[in-house]
Homo-oligomer: A and B are copies of this chain.
Amino acid sequence: MMTGPKIKELRITPIAITDPPLLNSVGIHAPYALRTVLELVTDDNISGISEIPGNIEINSLLKQTEQIVLGSDPFHLNQLKSALFQQFGDQQSDTRGDNPWDDRKLIHVYSALEVACLDIQGKVCNRPVVDLLGGRCRDQVTFAAYLFYKTIGAGGVLGHGTDPNATGWAQARQAAAETPEEIVAQAQAMCKEFGFKSIKLKGGVFPPEEEVAAMMALSDAFGPAVPLRFDPNGVWTVETSIKYGKQMEHILEYLEDPTRGQQGMAAVRKALQIPLATNMCTTSFEDIPSSVALDSEDIILSDHHFWGGLRASVELGKVCTTFNKGLSMHSNSHLGISLIAMVHMAAAIPNLTYDLDTHYPWQSEEIIEGGRVQFNQGKVEVPTEPGLGISLNRTVLSQLHENYLNSGLTHRDDTAEMKKFYPEWEFQAVRW
């Protein structure tokens, strides 16, 4: 009987990363986004890392998994998953929730453990993680520019850490963006810096006609060679989605989550000639059968943090191929560990041919050695080094952990943040 390395240590480091005041349908990003960095170390001192959205419950659950994780074999992921779901899977409150992001704890925790274990596996095998997922289908992974509205009404720029000497994208990142012209300026600065060749705008912030005007301005500014996507963040009615969707039919690559729920999406899809994408209406394998039955979306926006890891995302790719759905990728505010994990995964999925979403341009810090990941023409090179091919910069990690401790934040709560500036603000699940 061959015995391999066993996990002897699990280190959880909550961090708070500087985040600009980006607007969405529930409110506004707080000055810090919470992430959690996981390190697993084997008894022969091989370490694997991962990064997930962090909050106090996720961190607590991650800590509780120690009883199962310690002593386990980093290759035995099926056993680990089964043990975790047996032990912690009956928590009734572990639902996706009403937020635009996914609030399930266990699936995030498992994805953190899986990615760190795959990092270890790659180091043991002396192969990049992508090779453990079937091998690369491409040498670079292409990302899209992800635009956001910033500030609302007369509030001015709700930011912090503004640098008056910033230039280029660093300057543009600080700027307000409410009008079509400002959105175009944001896009131009971001595309210039990162070389993105496709563009998405997060909407659901201003009345539909204003947001449609911004999309039209982007179309005018960038022309038909640059695919455009628009995401009303689920707060439009079916009627609004159809009305404004029709106006954008000739300019959109896809329309993302115009309305909430598969039934509504199916109704919108029947009425429009453009593909619909989702990361709010179909967000787990349990949602797939009704998505297929209703024909509610054309494209699933995967996210390994809430689809259960990299292998599950590859499996989602196969499900999408089987049912003739497209696959793209969702993101939340994140640093380089998540980015590089996304790159390994996207490289291994044959049908992941849409440019991926990433918030990465909005972040300025980095916890991996070598600093910020480089984009060339909107693309990131698929690593060839063993495992994820990255390592932690412990100095920065400590600083961002200090940020976390000092921030006083325990959860992402964009609505509460918005209320600080606009006390009358209330989230409305259906706004227009």
Contact with B along A124-139 (1 / 0, CB 8 A): 1111100110111100
Q: List A residues 204-235 near B (Cβ within 8 Å).
A: none
For A292, the chain B residues whose CB sits under 8 A away are 289, 292
Chain B: minimal CB distance from A229 (Å)? 26
The distance in angstroms between the C-alpha atoms of A292 and B314, with both chains bound, is 21
Chain B: minimal CB distance from A306 (Å)? 16
Tell whether, in the assembled complex, residue B323 and residue A75 are in contact, meaning their CB atoms are under 8 Å apart.
no
Chain B: minimal CB distance from A128 (Å)? 7
Tell whether, in the assembled complex, residue A135 and residue B79 are in contact, meaning their CB atoms are under 8 Å apart.
yes
Chain B: minimal CB distance from A105 (Å)? 21
Tell whether, in the assembled complex, residue B318 and residue A137 are in contact, meaning their CB atoms are under 8 Å apart.
no
Residue of B nearest to A2 (CB): B384
Known: A135-B76, A319-B318. A82 touches B125 (CB 8 A): no
Tell whether, in the assembled complex, residue A76 and residue B289 are in contact, meaning their CB atoms are under 8 Å apart.
no
Q: List A residues 86-121 near B (Cβ within 8 Å).
A: 121
Contact with B along A297-316 (1 / 0, CB 8 A): 00000000000000110110
Tell whether, in the assembled complex, residue A135 and residue B289 are in contact, meaning their CB atoms are under 8 Å apart.
no
Residue of B nearest to A383 (CB): B2
The distance in angstroms between the C-alpha atoms of A124 and B124, with both chains bound, is 10
Chain B: minimal CB distance from A384 (Å)? 5
For A324, the chain B residues whose CB sits under 8 A away are 289
Determine whether A167 belongs to the interface, using a CB cutoff of 8 Å to chain B: no
Chain B: minimal CB distance from A388 (Å)? 13
Q: How many residues of A contact B (CB 8 A)?
A: 43
For A275, the chain B residues whose CB sits under 8 A away are none
Tell whether, in the assembled complex, residue B135 and residue A75 are in contact, meaning their CB atoms are under 8 Å apart.
yes
Known: A73-B135, A136-B79. A127 touches B4 (CB 8 A): yes
Contact with B along A150-186 (1 / 0, CB 8 A): 0000000000000000000000000000000000000
For A58, the chain B residues whose CB sits under 8 A away are none
Known: A136-B76, A137-B82. A322 touches B289 (CB 8 A): yes
Tell whether, in the assembled complex, residue B319 and residue A2 are in contact, meaning their CB atoms are under 8 Å apart.
no
Contact with B along A327-355 (1 / 0, CB 8 A): 00000000000000000000010100000
Residue of B nearest to A292 (CB): B292
Tell whether, in the assembled complex, residue A78 and residue B137 are in contact, meaning their CB atoms are under 8 Å apart.
yes
Tell whether, in the assembled complex, residue A384 and residue B1 are in contact, meaning their CB atoms are under 8 Å apart.
yes
For A21, the chain B residues whose CB sits under 8 A away are none
Determine whether A425 belongs to the interface, using a CB cutoff of 8 Å to chain B: no
Q: List A residues 8-66 near B (Cβ within 8 Å).
A: none
The distance in angstroms between the C-alpha atoms of A285 and B321, with both chains bound, is 9
Tell whether, in the assembled complex, residue A134 and residue B311 are in contact, meaning their CB atoms are under 8 Å apart.
yes
Determine whether A386 belongs to the interface, using a CB cutoff of 8 Å to chain B: yes
Determine whether A426 belongs to the interface, using a CB cutoff of 8 Å to chain B: no
Residue of B nearest to A122 (CB): B125
Known: A289-B323, A292-B292. A78 touches B1 (CB 8 A): no
For A134, the chain B residues whose CB sits under 8 A away are 77-78, 311
Determine whether A276 belongs to the interface, using a CB cutoff of 8 Å to chain B: no
Chain B: minimal CB distance from A120 (Å)? 12
Determine whether A239 belongs to the interface, using a CB cutoff of 8 Å to chain B: no
Determine whether A369 belongs to the interface, using a CB cutoff of 8 Å to chain B: no
The distance in angstroms between the C-alpha atoms of A299 and B322, with both chains bound, is 17
Q: Would you list 11 pairs from A and B whose C-beta atoms are within 8 A, ordered by A residue?
A: A75-B131, A77-B134, A77-B135, A78-B137, A82-B350, A124-B125, A288-B323, A314-B315, A315-B315, A318-B318, A319-B319
